[in-house]
Every structure is written in structure tokens, then in C-alpha cells.
Structure 1
Amino acid sequence: MIKTKESQEDLTYINSYISKVLKRNFGKGPATCFTTVIEDKMFIYLNQFITPAEEVLIKNDKAYLVNKTRSVIFETIFAEIRAEIHDVLGISYHHIHHDWNFQDNTGLIMLEASDSHNITRGTFNKDSISNAIQKICSEKHKIPEKISAPKMSSPIVYIEYTGFMSQIEQILYKKGYEDLLFEWAMEVKNTFGLNKRLFESCIQNAIKDTFVIFNFEHDKCTLVFYLK
């Protein structure tokens, strides 16, 4: 049974647990770890989580290798993480995603309990958010077929959109050209970052960090703002 409300004590434990698991598997844990649960998603915000070896790769423009290695490790340890979270919170997560701002040494791990694409209601102006997403997406990829209203649980705001992949991008994914998709995704993410003030106006909050998580398998993107 899923608990209706996560206690701060439970979330504090999850923060500590995640930090210890990461340190055991990466040789270095994050300086800080903060967990937020919104509906069927868990967002884990990390700070100062780059190992010395990764730092060398990043300085030599090999961020894709760092991201790929982290993906392999997270997929390996996901079963352990999801089991512990289920024991503590009673929530069963089935998918793990992540995004990193290497320049600022921050990152976000997102766990999902389902593949639901249902549109959810938020507390902000849906039209202003949709217009901003459409404007930016039109510059980098196909305008999404569906955009969700924003959801917020301080300090996280997230927006989902689906049906954005062009035929070329779908072919690249099916052929396994993950390095090219990663470079393209970083360009899209940079464009979202450059439009931070536009989104701050839409959600009426100051944004500290922006993360963009692409799920190419399901043609879905999750745009996450970590608020100041």
C-alpha cells in the first residue's frame, strides 16, 4: 500500500541511504542529497557529485562517456534502491532516469512508478507554459503533440511533453546512435536554460537549476526546474 504522505523522517533516511549507495558504487558520494515525491515520481537532487576520473573526462569533452557510465551503474543498482524505497515509503518505482549539470556539479535522479502519460492539473497558467514549450521546441525539434500542465511540490516544478521526436531522431534511436542523441539533447537543454527568465515569469518563481530528461523509448521529455 502506498502511503498518502511521506514523513520528513522517511525522506531524510532516503537522502542518507541514496548518498551511501552512491558512495559505495562510485567511490564518492554527493555533498548534499534532497528528495521530493510528487504523485508517481521521486526527484533526488544532488550537489557536488563528480569523481576525479569523471572530472578529467568532462574537461576533455567526454561528458557523453560520463553520462553513459552513470547510466550503466544506475541500472545496476536500481533494484537495490527501489527495494529499500518500497520498504520505507511503500511506493514501487519501475524506471530510473537522470540528468547532470556538470558545470555546476549538480544533478537530478528521477524515479517513476509508471509509464502514465496522463495530463495532470497544475497551479500555474497552462497556456503560458505551453506557449513557452512550443516556442522553444520549434527551434530545436518537432513541436510536441501533448504538453502537461506544470506540477509543483517545493522546491520542484516539472512539466512533461510527448510526441516531439522527428523521423530522423526515431531512426537514430533505433539504430543505437546514443552519442549523437546525447549531443542533440544537450543543445535542447541549453536552449531551455537560456530561456530561464521566460519560465520564471510563467511559474512566478526563481529557478536555481534546470534539468531535461529525455525518454526516447516513449518519445517523452520531462523538464524539471529546481527552485531557489
Structure 2
Amino acid sequence: MEKNSVHAEIASYTGKLFRDNFGKGPSSVYVSIEHPFITIYLSDFLAPMERVLVGQKNYMKVEETRDFLMQELLPEIKATLRVTADVDVENIYYDWSLRNKSGILVAVIKEENSEEQISDLSDYPKKDEVNNEIIRVSELAEKAPEKVESVYLNSRTLLVDRKGILVRIEKELINSGFSEQLRLSKRQLEKRLLDPTVFETILGTQIQDIFVDWDFSLDKSYIIFILKPK
């Protein structure tokens, strides 16, 4: 199947899946495949009931409900990507920007040389400045990552890969069964610390969205910046 056809099929499937399960699907779905990542960016995605909760500034309740529903949908999404894009998906990360009515899914493709592929993508102007700001923010939120890598997946998507960021109290909370509460709290904290104006100054372009997600079992995290088109 041609690349554009794969993108279109994934976008169509994602839109229908979210519409069937959330009561309203996104108005637009943008798919990008840059090994070892598949990104699915959703715009104008907020169900009627969620709109009421967001209007009341009850953001965490919406995110908590979405998290529970996404855990049911992830196996189906992985299976569909396997068939449609002919890839074996290792994990899927996701996050929402409720104020902007947008969301992101990042599927990590299971490949033997995935680390080498990320390194091949990693060079871009101001990379060191971006990584240093990510380290600074991580130190404020938890601790400096053991490793940071950032890559442009396309002209509008900058992905940051952090490894080794959890502190001991966070690991204890995870072991005690408080993963969901920790995830919700870390989302709020890190998004407050990730100042868009700082990254806009570094990159010389406007930031449209910032997303964050974690894999606590692997002690790693992805930050995704969506840039406004020039």
C-alpha cells in the first residue's frame, strides 16, 4: 500500500474509533510515519459532556475518564496499525490539550535498530539548547534525566525522548498502585513548567501544542511539541 494511502487509512480508522467510543470524533486527523514512530494528531476533539466539564475547569476528571477508556482501545489500535502499516507496535503514548481541543498518539514501532534510527534523525539547529531546557524543567519537576534525545519527525512535530527521570517517591507510589494519580499530577506539573515562550525563542517558531506522557515501567517519557505552520 502506498504511503499516502496508509496515512489516510489510519486517519479514517482513528476518527471513526474515537467517534464511536467518545460520542464525537476529531474534525481532523494528521498522521505521520517516521520510523520508529507513528504520530496521530487530533484536532477539534472534545465530546459534549467533556465540554461541560472543561467549562467548569474540571480538567483532571476528563483526563482520568479518557485514560480509562484509552486502556481499552490501545490493543485494538495496535492491531490495526499492525495490519494497516505492516509494523509491530511496541507501545502507544498519548496526551490531550483540552483547552485547545487537541490530542496526540505516538506509536513506537518495535525494531532492532530503533535507537540508531532516532540518532539518525536527531540533528537540527538549536538541539543542545532544547535539550538543556528539557533537563532544566525535568530537574524542577523530578530530577535530571539520565538521557535526553530530541528529534524532528516532520516540519511541525518535535519529539523529546527522556530516560531515567523517576525519583524514589514516585517509584514507591507506582508500586503502591497510584500510577493514575501520579500520571495526572505529573501532566499538570510538567505542562506548567514547559513554558512555550522559552521554546519559541529557542526554535524561532510558534508552539501550537505541548504533550507529555510516560511509561513508568520503563522509566521513560516523551514530550511532543506541535509547531504552528509557517
TM-score for the superposition, normalised by structure 1: 0.86
Letter in 1 for 2:165: F
List gaps (5 residues or longer) in structure 2: none
Q: After TM superposition, give the deviation of residue 55 of structure 1 in Å.
A: 2.3
Measured against aligned partners, the alpha-carbon deviations of 1:94-143 in whole angstroms (never above 9, x if no partner) come to 32221111111111112122498836241224422221112222222101
Map of 1:220 onto structure 2: 220
Does structure 1 conserve the Cα–Cα contact (< 8 Å) formed by 2:170 and 2:182?
no
Q: Which residue of 1 aligns with 2:41?
A: 45
Give me the TM-score of the superposition, normalised by structure 2. Answer: 0.86
Counterpart residue number, 1:63: 59
User: Does residue 187 in structure 1 map to residue 186 in structure 2?
Assistant: no
Task: For residue 68 of structure 1, report the CA deviation from its aligned partner.
Answer: 2.6
Alpha-carbon distance between aligned partners in 1 of 2:13 and 2:135, rounded to the nearest angstrom: 39
CA distance in 2, matches of 1:136, 1:143: 8
Q: Deviations over 1:5-36 (max 9, x none)?
A: x6222212211111011111111111111111
Kindly provide the CA deviation profile for residues 34-88 of structure 1, in whole angstroms up to 9, marking residues without a partner as x: 1111212211111121112222333444433322322232222233322332222
Cα displacement (A) at 1:204: 4.0
SS in 2 for 1:120: helix
2:8 and 2:88 map into 1 onto residues whose CA distance is 18
**Structure 2: distance between partners of 1:65 and 1:90:** 36
1:95 is aligned, of 88, 91, 95, to 91
Alpha-carbon distance in 1 for matches of 2:109, 2:37: 6
Q: Comparing 164-173 with 63-72, which one deviates more in the overlay?
A: 63-72
Q: Distance in 2 between matches of 1:158 and 1:55?
A: 28
Q: Match for 2:150: what amino acid?
A: A
1: distance between equivalents of 2:205 and 2:4?
23
Structure-2 separation of matches of 1:62 and 1:136:
25
What is the percentage of aligned positions where both structures have the same residue? 27
Offset at residue 163 of structure 1 (A): 0.9
Q: Which residue of 78, 81, 93 corresponds with 1:82?
A: 78
Residue ranges of structure 1 left out of the alignment (5+ in a row): none
1:120 aligned onto 2:119: yes
Q: Is the 8 A contact 1:210 1:224 kept in 2?
A: yes
Q: Which moved more, 1:111-120 or 1:40-49?
A: 111-120
Q: What is the RMSD computed on CA atoms of the aligned residues? A: 2.3
Match of 1:200 in 2: 200
Letter in 1 for 2:220: K
SS in 2 for 1:70: helix
- 2:8 aligned with 1:12: yes
CA distance in 2, matches of 1:181, 1:76: 17
Instruction: Give yes or no for contact 2:150–2:158 (8 Å, CA) kept in 1.
Output: no
Q: Partners of 1:106 and 1:8 in 2: how far apart? A: 23
Aligned length: 222
Q: Which amino acid aligns with 1:107?
A: G
